[in-house]
Structure 1
Amino acid sequence: MRLIDRRLTILLASVSLAACATAPAIQTAAPAGVAPVAAVAVPAEPVPVASLVQEVSIPHQKFVLENGLTVLVHEDHKAPVVGVSVWYNVGSKDEPKGKTGFAHLFEHLMFNGTENLQGDYFKYLQQIGATDLNGTTSFDRTNYFQTVPTGALERVLFMESDRMGHLLGAVSQGVLDNQRGVVQNEKRQGDNRPGGLVFYEVLKALFPEGHPYRHSTIGSMADLDAASLNDVGNWFRDKYGPNNAVLVLAGDVDVATARPLVEKYFGSIARGPVNNPAQAAVPVLSANSSMVMKDNVATTTVSRYWPVPGLLDPQLVALDVGGSVLGGLASSRLDEVMVRNEKIATSVSAGLYAFQRVGVFNVQATVKPGVDPALVEKRLDELVADFIAKGPTDDEVRRASVSEVAGRIRGLEQVGGFGGKAVTLAEGQTYTGDSDWYAKNLATYASITPDAVRAAMQQWLTEPRFALTLEPGQRPPYEEAKSVAAKGGKSAPKNATAAKPGPKREVPPVGTLAGLDFPDVTVTRLANGVELQYAQRAAVPVTQLALSFDAGDAADPANARGLQSMVMTMMDEGTTSLSSQQVAEAQERLGADISTGSSLDRSSVVLSALSANLAPSLSLLGDVVKNPAFDAAELERVRTQRLTGIAQLQKDPNGIAQRILPALLFGANHPYATLAGGDAAAIQRFTRDELVAFKDSWIRPDRMKVFVVSDRPLSEIQPLIEAEFGRWAAPAVPAGVKNFSAIPARPASPRIVLVNRPDSPQSVIIGGQVTPADPRDNIEALISANDVLGGNFLSRINMDLREAKGWSYGVRGSAQLSEKAVPYVISAPVQADRTGDSIKALNEQIGGFLGTKGVTGEELERTIANRVNALPGQFETSSAVLSAMMSNDLYGRPTNYQETLAAKYRGYSAGSLDAAIRGAVNPEGFVWVVVGDAAKVRPQLDKLGIPVEVVQPR
């Protein structure tokens, strides 16, 4: 279900593991050709959706404290981690007039320390090795979540209880001012994207004045400017009591352990006022309405919006399935007609965005360049009307239901995060008062009928709707914050707090933390010599399989950037026996997901299959990989889509920067000098013969390895893979060869490349350099050192530009590993009026860190603790294990590499980390790309004393 829950996130720590290790401990099976292959029964039909629903189960226990806190506990002992999620039954729909954005602003404030844990909460969470840590706000709720090692459960329960009951004494005027600036930069970051202002207009058109869903969760600049400490205190007291919250613990825990701890830390928090979430009727528009918006977009998009019922309505599933059939599935009605057959749109979509009280049903088409938008609008309306009148077929409903259930099964492998078990239970309890709501909801998907879908469509999509056309042009003037527009300051003392702190509470110690038990990897071969690596994970009945080819973007000739990605895109656009429509339908019937992709060094085709449907899913995968049709008509369609995508990237500030930086770092002809999206001129001229020739040279069994993570044993998996790929022979043509030319010398002094993007409220800054680091030689020391400089939320550059100065929503620096090179790249979206100041601040932080202000004792302790303690959570899921297996192979690591990391990390000193990053990164070696409004930005840059070159988007 595509719930429109704008993820207004706190930036979270990103972890990148890399390096060589000691000798591997590999389980080696005999090559498949040595022993007979066991026969495997192949089911004639996919497993029915009703049977799949039975696979989805989250058994749990519930108890309620005297103060009203509802607690749910689910046991899952597959890994020594616990997902902890706290949902507060308050969101932006509960904000009164003049206080928009308060719920989300408060989400930020609740990460900035409490009366007993001063400073940023990420500091304490990283020390215990938390993963999947974040907080989000929607129209209907605010939540905080983290997955922690089992031994740290008591500590994190103390932290969440301190956030719930002991916060206001730590909320100072300085903290409020800073987080106000951070939120306003988060708003700028979203608004700055092409089409970033559309959602505001949709809400105003669908919901009348005074309706709780009329304003966006992010709020207005004016209301954020006006927020006071008194407002903050009253909002917290009214909304964040234990009786307005749900606490979920999912993972390596039981009720006998959980209940005493919850009572100990939450039981003394006083019950608060009862928050009765705002009621909201589904509005009915008086008549059709329309609007034309202009923005920095490449082509026109036409949309239709209807207000419809929300999560609590019996028609929820019917509306959702109707959206999937109409425009949500890859095989949807709109895709088949407007994109594949008539080719008048480059993309289409339809779907239900469900909130607690109401929903929005949206239908949208992006107009193919050169086509009259009026024609697309007419055809879109005709197809919607036809669907309303006739409804879906039995097969369409089944495919939509299977796709939904399969997605739920995959998501529930995770105990925490954005969509795991804890979130699933909390959502039902918070919104419906029933923690088993997920099961009843899925049962409805299994039993939904075409008649029910048609009835829902006829009831709601025949009501008046709002039509919006977004076309290329000048967007309206931007509503800036008062603090920027007038340079105003707040008069209240920075140390003033929202309340007097209460008595001190004792912070509990962290218990014993378990180490990582990475699954054993078995390495074997198919009859044709193809290597197969296998690991078993039994948490969910799913098989993840990747075919990895030694190709990637680096296989593109310098004059044909985008050829490899075009080939990979075309792989699932039809085979010699199935059309692209039929390939999409087959995946949906099976609940399978076949995706193609690439990195700089590898091209991949990945299958995520329900293990019950593995045999037919593998058969479909084999057809896609071995027999792509490269149909001429499909090629022209995909070509147009790619060219439209490139044109859009050239309008997007991040896309512009990403297309420019690689050539600046590597030189125009190097294999790594890629262009995001590809070279438009080259894509325009690619022929079918070129695609076939590339496929024959690169996407072939002698350049392939197979990686599998499954709940099924290798004895069951390998015969199926053998049957599909064991006899695949390489074509007679020679295999491709990459030509790695020399990388240009790193600059001795910095320079700035400026791209003018008028009227941008925010500037995107990306700085990079190619380091001499070797991805196979102790690279984890460099990455650990970078945790301190730029690698996670608590890094120096993020804490400076975001938390101290409030100029950015988040800043990152990363060593970006590839097989032949390791660039170091910094990304910093900042408010436009602070562009020059931000580059100056970045240079000061980088220069200081690489000079005399290296890793401190506290930073070393925190970094090592985080890297060691987070390992079990990082590899909780089968997809994470699969990715690790593929990375180990790419960088020549042993298969048990992840289990060697803890000892490596514990062996580091501040001096060894300083040496690693100082030997790799030169503070004077950066090329800075700035995408912003040159009229505002150029004068700031000229003051820096760094040469500035103005270029056009590529």
Structure 2
Amino acid sequence: MRQILPAPMLALSLALVAQPALAAPAPKTTATPAQPATAKLADLVRAVDIPYERFQLANGLTVLVHTDRKAPIIGVTTYYRIGSKHEPRGKTGFAHLYEHLFFGGSENVPNFDIPLEGAGSTATNGSTWYDRTNYVETVPKGALDLALFLESDRMGHLLGAVTQDKLDKQRGVVQNEKRQGDNQPYGLTRYAQTDGLFPVGHPYRHQTIGSMADLDAASLGDVRAWFKEHYGPNNAVLVLSGDIDAATARPLMEKYFGDIPAGPAVKPVVAGPVTLKALVRQTITDNVATTRLVRLWSGPGLNHKDTAALQVGMSVLGGLASSRLDNALVRGKQVAVSVSAELESYEQVSVLEISMDVKPGVSRAVAEAALDAEIAKYLASGPNADEVKRAATREVSGQIGALEVVGGFGGKGATLAEGLLYSGDPAAYKRDLAAIASVTPAQAKAALNTWLKRPVLAIATVPGKRTMSGDQLGGWGDEAQRPAPKPDAKAPVPPVPQSPPRSAPPVAPVGELAFAAVEHATLSNGIPVSLARRSAVPKVVINLAFDAGIAADSLNTAGTQGLMLSMLKEGTTSRDATQVLEEEERLGASLESAAGMDTTAVTLSALSANLAPSLALMADVVLHPAFAPSEVERVKQQRLARLAQTLANPQGIAIRAINPVLFGKDHPYGLPADGLGDAASLKALNPQDLRAAHAQWLRPDLARITVVGDIAMGDLLPQLERAFGQWAKPASPKPVKAVSAAAPTPNPRIILIDRPGSPQSVIVAGRVLPLSGRDGGQEALDLANEVLGQGLLSRLNADIREDKGWSYGVQSVVRQPLGARSLLVVAPVQTDRTGDAIKAIITDMKALPAAKPVTEEELQRVTDGNIRGLPNRFETNAQVLGAIAANERFGRPDDYYTKLPALYRSIDAKLLNEKAAQFLQPEGLTYVVVGDRAKVEAQVKELGLPVEVR
């Protein structure tokens, strides 16, 4: 995959929503609430439908077309039947390496991303897994010809552009992707899992990322041969989903793909589950804060008769929030801070995994005994009917939600492609959902006993000094006896015959953006309500937002908002935690709460048919949390464990450090961005503190409700009125956060945080900007930042990742809270290039615009690309809700996004250069570097800035 930063890093650029706090709870009652009437599971399954048409070209390329006219966009989803399971000894990692090379340009197109992003494509990405490699982009309707031209050019006209230089650069990127994964807590456990489950030579044994030795040994001749053997049209499935039909699609497919010759068929792989001869135990010491116990078995492939029953059974055991393991080990015996159980299915095998993070202070022996006893107890009893139904409802509700997306990795195009590729039927999802909906408790019990009573692989990852190295892991498994051969630099590379040149088609003009109409109303207690009605899927999303957020902790104790929000689903005055979670699952609903920097919100995603009871549950959770002392203490211990885990993660360490450095401890924005507070502040919090914070911040005069989905305002308002209209505001004045307070004078320096043994350094640099989030006219600054560091084509990423190969991805972010904005640059880089990477960041920032002003190509990419890509940004209910909430937060009109194209068209390169010169320069940056001090300190001391070691 080409995602440039892991989720913790990307979170820096997101304005997270948060959960609500409320008035004092009502007296405790013991009555169990009546069970709400819910939609029938069979009716929900019937609602999942992706009609398609199918045809095949003479060269064997299979094409599926799904028509969805809700927006003028089309998902282009291409699957190749080639994954890591097809790799022979000595070539591990080749499929994934070639996925990266596939984006490096063809014989007729120097770079695929530039024209695609300029055309407004989103979700332009690729990924590799055991069974396949896929490529996805979602484009405006007028850019379909361009997308098909590009996909056909790399399918049929790529080899001449695969050079030694490109191979070397992408090899470096992939190796840094491997280092980045290895550098995480528990990052080496994944190698032990497949190594332990499968023997040497089993196709599912080695990791998709491969081994460093095999990646080093990959020659230009090798990768060219790999392409010829595997990437023919007869080994591909291409899905067009969206504003398209088969009659339109067929001539386009013939035009662009018809002349590509078929290649050799990919040979079938023989693989299946493996039963261990006896129990296998392994202990791994790693830089982790909490012992993790894992139980693993290999299981059947996704087309096996037991797969649906296993999926449901594992969900009941440890997938549901109200799972057996959660109730027994987290809420019950309290020997764990988190548990999970899942079935991860592949085409020919699966992995059944049960995981438990041991509560600090609990002995490993006690935890293991408790875990194994619960597994044995569950196998003896099996799930009950209500558990099975809740697990099935959750699965079906999730698939209904996926119907909103036409392309991408999890949308309708991918669903059809995977059904055909793995099961021979694009509509295999119907069979799978029907099978899940029909699973009985007896079937689940029988399947679980068949597969989980075999010998288990038991792995414990315990805190300590890391003794394994990812550089030696991920390969075939017999490298000690048969090391990878060194590439022969003198080996001749067969010439590639050049095909006639092809020219890219133009992009048709994009019509005016049709943003959802927004209706407004007010509840009787003054809470404003905004609704955008959308009927693409039978779901509704409701966001109840409060003017609070992490910044509210500046008036309380650090970590208060996060802990208070974590308690909302842990029991109300009429339901205990298990009842809350079971009802949520029974309804197929999802209740989430979170705190961003300025906003706290509770968000409900519900099936339209179950909205009334789902909204009643939401109201109970928001208005009447119990804050029971025993539950508060348990959840507090979980958050302390989460804090410890964050402090073992290099990204988490860097992210936590930057806000206090930039804003100081007395500013509302000077708190760590994860909202966890610190160990002392968390330990100090008690139920009374949480009740007080709930009453202080979750109040109707700080609230706003935003709704998007399949409901009319006339039907919505009475339900909202019943749920929240009688909620009276308190007599106390509204609290005020001092977000406009001045930040401290910048103190540029390098703060080096020692993390011995790290294969990468994580660099986070930042400074406060003289702007607030509500200042108007900042679109040009955001576009200038896209040129500098936002996205794969940005200058920072193009230099440090694509050209130098020192990183898996570099990003700059201009954060937009309500108060002062700040500039961040985030760069995980290989350890031996830490100092050089900081030099490159400084050089690239100074060059914009002094030495290298914004080019016409960059201007077109960030202006036209954003204009054409606007329909993609509002494909789902959640995306529309986020846009409406942002307009409300920043005081923008409802038609802001419809007017945005005209605003972008008015921005020229001169204005982008001015914004870059004013706000995106390296002067005043403070750098936080998390890495191995012994290897990094000398590098950073050469940079001429003061170095502070922590």
1:75 to 63, 67, 77: 67
What secondary structure, in the 3-state scheme, does the structure 1 residue paired with 2:296 have? strand
**Residues 345-494 of structure 1 correspond to what in structure 2 (within 5 A)?**
345-480=336-471, 492=489
Question: Is residue 2:644 matched to residue 1:647?
Answer: yes
Question: Is residue 2:512 matched to residue 1:515?
Answer: yes
Question: Is residue 2:577 matched to residue 1:586?
Answer: no
**Residues 44-63 of structure 1 correspond to what in structure 2 (within 5 A)?**
44-63=36-55
Question: Which range moves more in the overlay, 174-183 or 265-274?
Answer: 265-274
Alignment partner, residue 344 of structure 1: 335
**Residues 196-595 of structure 1 correspond to what in structure 2 (within 5 A)?**
196-480=187-471, 492=489, 499-557=496-554, 560-595=557-592
What secondary structure, in the 3-state scheme, does the structure 2 residue paired with 1:499 have? coil
Distance 1:911 1:344 in 2: 61
Alignment partner, residue 886 of structure 1: 885
- Report how far residue 108 of structure 1 moved: 0.2
Alignment partner, residue 20 of structure 2: none
Distance 1:497 1:633 in 2: 71
Distance 1:549 1:497 in 2: 64
Q: Which amino acid aligns with 2:361?
A: G
Distance 2:4 2:734 in 1: 46
Distance 2:557 2:948 in 1: 27
- Report how far residue 635 of structure 1 moved: 0.3
**Residues 631-670 of structure 1 correspond to what in structure 2 (within 5 A)?**
631-670=628-667
What secondary structure, in the 3-state scheme, does the structure 2 residue paired with 1:384 have? helix
- Report how far residue 730 of structure 1 moved: 1.7
Distance 2:865 2:368 in 1: 53
- Report how far residue 490 of structure 1 moved: 8.3
Distance 1:381 1:480 in 2: 33
Alignment partner, residue 120 of structure 2: 129
What is the aligned length? 916
- Report how far residue 921 of structure 1 moved: 3.2
- Report how far residue 679 of structure 1 moved: 1.7
Q: Which amino acid aligns with 2:685?
A: F
1:156 to 131, 147, 171: 147
Deviations 1:20-64 (A, max 9, x none): xxxxxxxxxxxxxxxxxxxxxx99511111110011000010011
* Structure 2 residue ranges without an equivalent (≥5): 16-33, 474-484
1:751 to 727, 731, 749: 749
Distance 2:907 2:216 in 1: 45
Deviations 1:138-174 (A, max 9, x none): 0000000000000110110111111111110000000
* Alpha carbons of structure 1 residues 99 and 769: separation in structure 2 relative to 1, 3 Å: same
Q: Which amino acid aligns with 2:589?
A: A
What secondary structure, in the 3-state scheme, does the structure 1 residue paired with 2:789 have? helix
Q: Which amino acid aligns with 1:790?
A: G
Deviations 1:671-713 (A, max 9, x none): 0112222221111010111111111111011110000001121
Distance 1:638 1:15 in 2: 23
Contact 1:478–1:761 at 8 Å: present in 2 too? no
Distance 1:896 1:495 in 2: 61
Percent same amino acid at aligned positions? Answer: 49
Q: Which amino acid aligns with 1:918?
A: A
Q: Which amino acid aligns with 1:72?
A: L
- Report how far residue 185 of structure 1 moved: 0.2
- Report how far residue 851 of structure 1 moved: 2.8
- Report how far residue 735 of structure 1 moved: 2.8
* Alpha carbons of structure 1 residues 854 and 335: separation in structure 2 relative to 1, 3 Å: same
What secondary structure, in the 3-state scheme, does the structure 2 residue paired with 1:672 have? helix
What TM-score results when the alignment is normalised by the length of structure 2?
0.94
* Structure 1 residue ranges without an equivalent (≥5): 1-6, 20-41, 483-487
Alignment partner, residue 29 of structure 2: none
Question: Is residue 2:821 matched to residue 1:822?
Answer: yes
1:774 to 745, 762, 772: 772
What secondary structure, in the 3-state scheme, does the structure 2 residue paired with 1:571 have? coil
- Report how far residue 9 of structure 1 moved: 4.2
Contact 1:71–1:247 at 8 Å: present in 2 too? yes
- Report how far residue 736 of structure 1 moved: 2.0
* Alpha carbons of structure 1 residues 17 and 657: separation in structure 2 relative to 1, 3 Å: closer
Distance 1:16 1:212 in 2: 38
Distance 2:418 2:105 in 1: 26
- Report how far residue 853 of structure 1 moved: 2.2
Alignment partner, residue 933 of structure 1: 932
Deviations 1:59-113 (A, max 9, x none): 0100111111110000000000001100001100000001000000000000000
- Report how far residue 276 of structure 1 moved: 2.6
Deviations 1:429-466 (A, max 9, x none): 11111101011111111111111101101101000110
Distance 2:462 2:524 in 1: 55
* Alpha carbons of structure 1 residues 270 and 746: separation in structure 2 relative to 1, 3 Å: farther
Alignment partner, residue 905 of structure 2: 906
Alignment partner, residue 759 of structure 2: 761
1:89 to 68, 81, 106: 81
Distance 2:14 2:908 in 1: 18
Alignment partner, residue 90 of structure 2: 98
Q: Which amino acid aligns with 1:628?
A: P
Q: Which amino acid aligns with 2:378?
A: F
1:107 to 99, 109, 123: 99
* Alpha carbons of structure 1 residues 356 and 490: separation in structure 2 relative to 1, 3 Å: closer
- Report how far residue 121 of structure 1 moved: 1.5
- Report how far residue 199 of structure 1 moved: 0.6
What secondary structure, in the 3-state scheme, does the structure 2 residue paired with 1:919 have? helix
- Report how far residue 125 of structure 1 moved: 1.0
Distance 1:327 1:17 in 2: 32
Contact 1:191–1:197 at 8 Å: present in 2 too? yes
Distance 2:142 2:370 in 1: 59
Contact 1:230–1:498 at 8 Å: present in 2 too? no
- Report how far residue 340 of structure 1 moved: 0.6
Distance 1:84 1:746 in 2: 50
Alignment partner, residue 595 of structure 2: 598
Question: Is residue 2:665 matched to residue 1:673?
Answer: no
What secondary structure, in the 3-state scheme, does the structure 1 residue paired with 2:605 have? strand
Question: Is residue 2:622 matched to residue 1:625?
Answer: yes
Q: Which amino acid aligns with 1:765?
A: I
Distance 2:870 2:721 in 1: 33
* Alpha carbons of structure 1 residues 304 and 559: separation in structure 2 relative to 1, 3 Å: same
* Alpha carbons of structure 1 residues 946 and 58: separation in structure 2 relative to 1, 3 Å: same
Contact 2:785–2:920 at 8 Å: present in 1 too? no
Q: Which amino acid aligns with 1:814?
A: V
- Report how far residue 923 of structure 1 moved: 2.0
**Residues 789-804 of structure 1 correspond to what in structure 2 (within 5 A)?**
789-804=788-803
The alignment's C-alpha RMSD in Å is 2.1
Contact 1:114–1:167 at 8 Å: present in 2 too? yes
